[in-house]
Amino acid sequence: MDDYFTGAVQQLLSRAGHLNTRVPRDLPREFHTLVATCQAEVARITAVLRLLLQEPAMLLPANQPERLRMFRRAVADLDVVETVGFAAIERANEEDLRLNALMDRIRLEINYPLLPPVVTSLSRAYFGIFPSLNLLCVPLTEGRFLLHLPDLYHELGHPLLRAGNNPVVEPFRRAQDRVMQAAIGYLDDELRTQERGRGPTQMVHTLGCWVRSWVSWSVEFLCDLFGALTVGPAFAWSHLHLCAKRGGDPFLVPAYAPTSHPPDAARMTVALKALSRCGFAAEVGRIERRWQDYVALVGARAEPEYRRCFPDKLLEETCRAGWDGVTALGCRIASPTSGGDVYTLLNRAWDEFWHDPAGYGRWEEGAVAGLFTPQGRA
């Protein structure tokens, strides 16, 4: 296969080099940091590819499986840089500039401790972030509507957990460690209890599945808490909106294979606990009633496995850890008296929606126009 690697790696090197030529000369400065990030990633991948060609150890027959694995990893990494990073750079448009201006206003309002991710309206699904590129993807028309925009605050939590060797974000990273320790401690106790008993052996495997899932769940819970604590009730309303449009069984827990996101019901519980800490008791009551209406509509209920996976004590500790982490970052915590144009508008949008669902669209159109003017006010 050596001749194959010689040709295939050379072709990939050419492709990597070509990507660096695809940066428009009139690219707005909002995308300059993304260019630097993408070019650094291309340089890293290029170094790996040259190693595959030139490192003598990579030519040994015994190392060919590892060589193939590294080659495939480089292909996958370059795919992301090309189809996400450079695609966002090459198609940067007025819609993207609006969203990046909004993200900068959010950063200043909440005292976000890092440079914000670059935003592109390139998503083919929902909101999603590529932490390695610090690039946040949203659907094409998302900047024209308000009800899902609170999820931007959730996405801002991800870079805080990915930043390495940065004391500024260390409190938030410690909060995730604290959540993981609480979850693993609880599930270890459950495993020991299960193994001592005479229950079905399948439950031992399920508990192990939950342990592995919490590696990802802890991240999502912390990002949910960052969102709820910084944008307030609008975050929980947005979560309900997303569940109604795209969700499944809100209480479903995995039995065999780990999942990346916790069940929607657990996420709502944690968000509402956070909002209660912020002083939004009345709003929490309204959200809870709407949430119960939704749960009844889909015919879902919390089975014993769900309650075992997410005991209230564990969710309460998750909330406390998130609260401590966000406050230690120095971010602005939402409260009923919080100000800020973006914060006020995103929460008012949900008030307007419930006050007059049929007429909400007319109000939203004007509100969006005001939000994205240079001196936009809620």
Question: What is the pLDDT, as a whole number, of residue 125?
Answer: 82
More reliable by pLDDT, 362 or 2: 362
Please give the mean pLDDT across all residues of the chain.
93
Phi and psi at residue 316, in whole multiples of 5°?
A: -65, -40
- Coil, strand or helix at 129: strand
Question: What is the pLDDT, as a whole number, of residue 78?
Answer: 96
- Residue 18's CB is within 10 A of a number of other CB atoms, namely 12
Is pLDDT above 60 for 365? yes
At 91-116, the pLDDT tens digits run: 888 889 999 999 999 999 999 999 99
pLDDT band at 199 (very low <50, low <70, confident <90, very high): low
Alpha helices in the chain (DSSP H): 2-19, 32-54, 64-80, 87-90, 94-110, 151-162, 170-196, 202-231, 233-246, 264-277, 281-298, 304-309, 312-329, 341-355, 360-371
State pTM to two decimals. Answer: 0.92
Is pLDDT above 70 for 376? no
At 250-283, the pLDDT tens digits run: 999 999 999 999 999 999 999 999 999 999 999 9
Question: What is the pLDDT, as a whole number, of residue 273?
Answer: 98
**pLDDT average, residue stretch 320-324:** 98
Is pLDDT above 60 for 345? yes
pLDDT band at 71 (very low <50, low <70, confident <90, very high): very high
More reliable by pLDDT, 44 or 92: 44
- Beta strands 135-137 and 118-120, pairing class: parallel
Question: What is the pLDDT, as a whole number, of residue 371?
Answer: 87
Phi and psi at residue 129, in whole multiples of 5°?
A: -120, 145
pLDDT band at 377 (very low <50, low <70, confident <90, very high): very low
Question: What is the pLDDT, as a whole number, of residue 374?
Answer: 58
**pLDDT average, residue stretch 174-203:** 89
Question: What is the pLDDT, as a whole number, of residue 4?
Answer: 86
**pLDDT average, residue stretch 152-180:** 95
**Of residues 221, 195, 193, 198, the one with CA closest to residue 308:** 193
Percent of the chain with pLDDT over 70: 98
**Of residues 105, 103, 111, the one with CA closest to residue 326:** 111
Q: Are 38 and 100 in contact, with CB atoms under 8 Å apart?
A: no
Structure tokens at 266: 């657990």
